[in-house]
Each structure stands twice: as C-alpha cells, then as structure tokens.
A and B are shown apart, each in its own frame.
Chain A
Amino acid sequence: MASTAVMVEGAPRPGRVRAFLLRLRSGDEVAHLITLVFASAILLITVLLVFELYRNSALSRERFGWHFLTTRTWDPVFENFGALPFIFGTVVTSAVGLLLAIPLGVGAAIFLAELAPPRISDALAFTIELLAAVPSVIYGLLAIFTLVPLLRTVVQPFLKKHLGFIPLFQGPNYGVGLLAAGIILAIMIVPFIISISREVLIAVPVEQREAALALGATRWESTWKVVVPYARAGILGSIFLAMARALGETMAVTMVIGNDPKITSSLFAPGYSIAAVIANEFTEATSDLYIHALIELGLVLFVLTIILNGLARLLILATQRKGTAHP
C-alpha cells in the first residue's frame, strides 16, 4: 500500500528536503545512503579514469587524429608517433598465445570435466588455478633465464630448419622476440581458459551426454560432438576473457619481446606491445606530445580490452542461462 505524507487538517505539508531528512533518522536509510555513496565512488573513479585518459592524450589526438592508428613510425626525435607497430605487436603476441593456449586449455578442461574422477578433477583444477595467481614479473624472470635461451639454442633453429620456407620462421634468431612473448602469454592465460571451460562443461546437463552414449557414441565422440558444442558459447567467452588478459599483460612481455617497434613477418623478430612501450618510455617521454602519445596508446588498449571483456561476459552469460534452462 503506497504511503504518502499524512495530511493533518490545517498543518503545512513538509518540504521535500525535510521529508528526506526525517526519513534519514531511520537506520535503514542511513545505511542505504552510506553504501550508495561508496557505490557511487566506484562510478566516480571509473568516469574519472576515462576522463583523465582522454584529457591527457589531447595533444596527440589533435595532432594525429585517426592516422595515429595507422602510422608505422614511432620517432621521438622528429615527433612523429604512430600506434600501428604496437597494435601489431600486441595482436600478434596475443594471437600466438591464444593459438597455443586454446587447444591446450580446452583439452585440459575436457579431461578435467569429463574424464577425471571428481576429487582428482578438483585437486588438479585447484593446482591450475594457482598458476593464475603467479605474478607476471615472476613469469618474466623465468622466461628470461629459461625460455629465451631454449628458444635461441633449440626451438628456433629447429623451426628454421624444418619450417623455414614459411616467412614466419625466417630471419635472425635472437631468442627474445614475438615468439617468446607469445609463448609466455600462452602459459599465463591457459589457467583462465581451463577453469572457466571446465565449469561450463560440468554445467552441461548430464542428459545430453547420456543421450549421445545411448546412441552408440564413444566417450570422445559424445564429448566432442555433443557436450562441447553445447558449451560452445561459454568456452568462447573464456577465450575472449583470456584474450583481454593477454592484451594488457605488461611485465612478462616487456622482459622478452625485444623492445623494437617494427612490423615484420617473422616471429623470431623483436617487437613491441602497447603495454611494454608505456612501461619502458613513460617516465622518460621528454616532450608533452610524447607523453600524450603514450597515454593515447593506453586509451587504445583500454578500449580494446573493454570491447573484449564485454563480449566475453555476454557469451558466458548466454551459456549459463542455457545450461540451467529446462531441456
């Protein structure tokens, strides 16, 4: 029943502010207000962040406009800045990372969801989630001293010898470069793909599996042809999430990518990612335009991750609804 201010004969109607303050005397309203203030703080901080990124990249945006995204040069001496080499490096290393992580991750998720007995599955999933907790700088530390020498002395010469007809595997062999960054990214994002995919696979109704098996499918066929397609959206969502994570990864990539803003066709070549160039050059950008260009790069990265995260959430949500829907 709607309650309105009680009208007493002859008494003046309380003003809106007074009414609000009167309501405030109740503890509930106070609690509501306090939590509301904190929740608004989150809104405020986010808006402020986007605003600051936008405002502090103004010089660069005005000077270069949309050409910023397509220019290949990054020249601090002649003050000509373009984002393309960094977008290239970011995209290529993330692509290599995903190419390696997706089969590995989905495969492991299938094993954990379908084959492993529940307790072992839980224990292994627990261990894999711990991998996600390892700080990026420690991955970088290990990569410098183990992965890079391994690539330089064993893996890259091997690839060059046997697959050297593909442009991807040609060129001088440094150890550091796009391939090294791609591999370390793969290791870093695989736990995300595994844990989310495992959960969406487990959520697939058992009737689906049983129906397939009843029709004479082998275990593998039931999994690959029925269960996985059912959970397809969620798995795709986990991939997008992993992609978003890979794009923003800074430390491990900076330590092994070679720090050269060039666009090449070889995976062995050094490259540069958006996050890595910001980390290396931010404290040293000597002119205002230089700093604004770096911040504009940060803005580009931010927008990319927002888009991917949004897509990921939608997809995962779609699977969850589907999974719990009545068949």
Chain B
Amino acid sequence: MKKQWSILRGLLIVGSLLAAGLLWQAQRSVAAPAAPVLLNGAGATFPYPIYSKWFDEYHKLHPDIQINYQSIGSGGGIRQVLAGTVDFGATDGPMTDEQLQDYKGKLGHDILHFPTVLGADVPTYNIPGFSGQLKFTPEALAGIFLGKITRWNDPAIASVNPGVNLPGNDIVVVHRSDGSGTTYVWVDYLCKVSEEWRTKVGRGTSVNWPVGLGGKGNEGVAGLVKQTPNSVGYVELIYAIQNKMPYGTVRNSAGNFINADLASVTAAAAGAAKEMPEDFRVSITNAPGKNAYPISSFTWLLVPATIADGAKRTTITDFLHWMLTGGQNLAEPLAYARLPKEVVSKEVKAISRIR
C-alpha cells in the first residue's frame, strides 16, 4: 500500500517535470529570433486546400510569420469577423449589404472583399456499380434537392443519360450542416434555375433543406457521400478529385453539358472580369458563354479596411501581394482557376485601401 502510494507520487512528480520540460521546449521552439507575427483566420472550406497550401508555403518563405486558418465554413468566417475574434475571414458567399452595415456599426470601419481564386461546386455521387460521369440538367438537380426526384432511374436523370443503367434505388441527398459558402454557391445557382427553389428555400449560407443528411464542411459532405451508397452531394471540385470520387457534368445556360475544370471555370468568370464592381462582390453562377461551367464562383478573403496593429497590417498586405503573384501559380495544380488579369490589377490597387 505504501509502495503503491510512493510509486504514484513518483510518477506524478516525474510526469509533471516531464510536462514542464516539454512545455518549455515547445515555447522555446516557437520563439523565433524576430518577434513572430501570428494571424488567425477562419472561414470557407471551399478554398481550404489552396489556402492551407498558401499559408504553409508563406510560412516557409517567412518563418517568423504564422497564419493559422481554420475551415469552419463561410458562415463561420462571416460570424467570427463580425465578432472581431479573427484577423481575417474567408467566404464564397459574399457578405450581404446588411452584414456589411452590421460590421461597420460594430467595428467602426469597413470590411473589404478580396477574390483569391476561382472554384466550382460539383455534384458528386456514389452509385454502386457505376463510376462513370453522369449528366445533370438544372431541373434534375433542383428536383433532387427539393426531394421531388427520389430515385436514380427517374426520367429526369435517365433521359439525358442514355445507355447508363441507373438503379431504382432511393437517392440519399447530402448537404452541409454548417453555414457554408459552398452551399451559398449551390443554392444561388438553384435559385437562378428553379423558381420553386427560389420561393420555397431561398439563398443563404445556411438554408432549411427539404431533404437530406448534413455533413460538416466540404470534408464532411465528401466523407458522407463516399461512405453512403446511392448518395449525391455537392462539394468543391478539389474535394471530389482528391478523394477520387465521381462527379457529374451540368448543363449550362447555352445548353451544353460542361465538365468542371480550369477552362470552364475561367470561361464562367470571363464576363464578370470585365465588369467587376469596386467591392468585388459578384455572382458568376449560370454565367453566359458556351463553355462556361454553370456552378462556378469566386472566393474571397475578408480583410478589415483598418488594421491598428502595424505588424499585422504589413503582413496581410504583403501576403495579399504575394497571393496575387506567386500564390496564383499554386492554384492550378489544386484544380482552382487563377484570377483573370483584369481582376488581379484591380485588386492590387484595392490593397492600398487597407490602412
């Protein structure tokens, strides 16, 4: 008995010494020669793969700078930016006018949108026995997500996919359970192509879904679709590619079934590039153009127009410059399209608005 007690006591002492030592080591390893600059950002999962690559690369170039980005969904990015708990946000659903007013009222200055890359939402599915590429019409997608089209062999899907043996199984719809810009892009598109969707459900980063399971983040939706037979969900293109999941083509406003890739996403942005508004908030879903992919979108970083901390301000502006030049080169290997030249030059000018 006494022996057990002294063993426990010894273990506790050794354990706490070890813990103290580890903590000390950890603190020292982080204390860089120059005062480290730490930025915290949160938001969209849509661009998470490219952002995490960027922040990792940037940290390699500038070891004293750490930009910690958490993908909690665009809704989260907007909310945390409004609460002032993060240094910058990220969203693929641009902030509404009310949200901009709200921000100005709460924090006393404006918040700026900076487009970073172009991406696409794709309908990814898991049909046992079929791994090819399905064609989807806008009516089919709206019907599936409204819960009106319930089986895979429904005529709305089968009629444009002749020769494909679609099973009669029930469709399992998967959507986002968190506030999401990917959702915003998807429902923005559905609002434009389906009057019923527009009046019944509407657009937002979180909506009242008529049917389906909820997954957390693009990662969660991809995970659910991958594990659930007969399911369909919407994810950002890179998530489908990285997880080797099949995704469908979508018919655009010109009547062509387009596969989401760099060319078709860039084509979607072509019109908007020339007429980009000053605040960069624009929707490019269902864009005109015969090769445009209809569910494309810009994605934005949300940066306050006034940053009191000098080091943080310099870091952010430097990062934005890098992002618009060297950073853009890293986008294409991850299946994100680069920003059009016109947008880049407009943005470079806009960076000077950060005081």
Contacts and interface: CB of A to CB of B under 8 A. Distances in A.
B79 A280 contact: no
Interface-central residue, A148, A152, A260, by most chain B CB under 10 Å: A260
B306 interface: no
Interface in B223-247: 224, 227-228
Given A280-B178, A286-B179, A73 B213 contact: no
B290 interface: no
Contacts of A73: 208
Interface in B199-258: 201-209, 212-216, 224, 227-228
A285 interface: yes
A94 to B, nearest CB: 20
Given A175-B228, A280-B177, A260 B76 contact: no
A284 B207 contact: no
Contact of A149 (B79, B201, B202, B227): B227
A238 to B, nearest CB: 30
Contacts of B205: 76, 284, 286
A76 B207 contact: yes
B206 A260 contact: no
A77 B202 contact: yes
Interface residues of A, number: 25
B59 to A, nearest CB: 24
B23 to A, nearest CB: 22
Contacts of B213: 174, 176, 258-260, 270
B111 interface: no
A48 to B, nearest CB: 20
A26 B205 CA distance: 64
Interface in B16-64: 42
Contacts of B214: 258-260, 270, 272, 280
Contact of B75 (A78, A174, A286): A286
A122 interface: no
A103 interface: no
B142 interface: no
Interface string B65-85: 000000011011011101000
A297 to B, nearest CB: 15
B170 interface: yes
Contact of A77 (B172, B203, B228): B203
Given A77-B202, A281-B179, A285-B79, A172 B172 contact: yes
Contacts of B73: 283-284
Interface-central residue, B203, B206, B207, by most chain A CB under 10 Å: B206
B178 A284 contact: yes
Interface-central residue, A175, A272, A280, A284, by most chain B CB under 10 Å: A284
B208 to A, nearest CB: 4
B99 interface: yes
A174 B228 contact: yes
Interface string B148-183: 000000000000000000000010100001110000
A260 B147 CA distance: 14
B216 A280 contact: yes
Nearest to A175: B228
Interface string A169-183: 000101110000000
Contacts of B224: 176
Contact of B206 (A149, A175, A281): A281
Main secondary structure on chain A at its contact with chain B?
loop
A284 B42 CA distance: 10
A174 B206 contact: no
A75 interface: yes
B179 A285 contact: yes
A7 B52 CA distance: 79
Given A76-B204, A285-B179, A260 B75 contact: no
Interface-central residue, A75, A260, A283, A291, by most chain B CB under 10 Å: A283
A302 interface: no
A270 B208 CA distance: 15
A93 B78 CA distance: 33
A283 B73 CA distance: 9
Contacts of A174: 172, 213, 228
Contacts of A77: 201-204, 206-208
A76 B215 contact: no
A284 to B, nearest CB: 3
A291 B132 CA distance: 43
Nearest to A153: B229
Contacts of B170: 172
A152 B252 CA distance: 36
A74 interface: yes
A286 B202 contact: no
Contacts of B78: 286
Contact of A260 (B79, B179, B209): B209
Contacts of A285: 75, 79, 179
Nearest to A172: B170
B72 A283 contact: yes
Contacts of A284: 72-73, 75-76, 79, 178-179, 205-206
Interface string A63-92: 000000000011111100000000000000
B121 to A, nearest CB: 18
Nearest to A272: B214
A78 B206 CA distance: 10
A74 B209 CA distance: 10
- List the 3 shortest-distance A-B pairs measured between CB atoms, nearest first: A259-B214, A284-B179, A284-B75
Interface of A: 73-78, 148-149, 152, 172, 174-176, 258-260, 270, 272, 280-281, 283-286, 291
Interface of B: 42, 72-73, 75-76, 78-80, 82, 99, 170, 172, 177-179, 201-209, 212-216, 224, 227-228
17 contacts: A75-B207, A77-B202, A78-B208, A174-B172, A174-B213, A176-B224, A258-B214, A259-B177, A259-B215, A260-B212, A281-B75, A281-B206, A284-B178, A285-B179, A286-B82, A286-B99, A291-B79
Given A284-B75, A286-B79, A286-B82, 7 more contacts: A76-B207, A172-B170, A176-B213, A259-B214, A283-B79, A284-B72, A286-B78
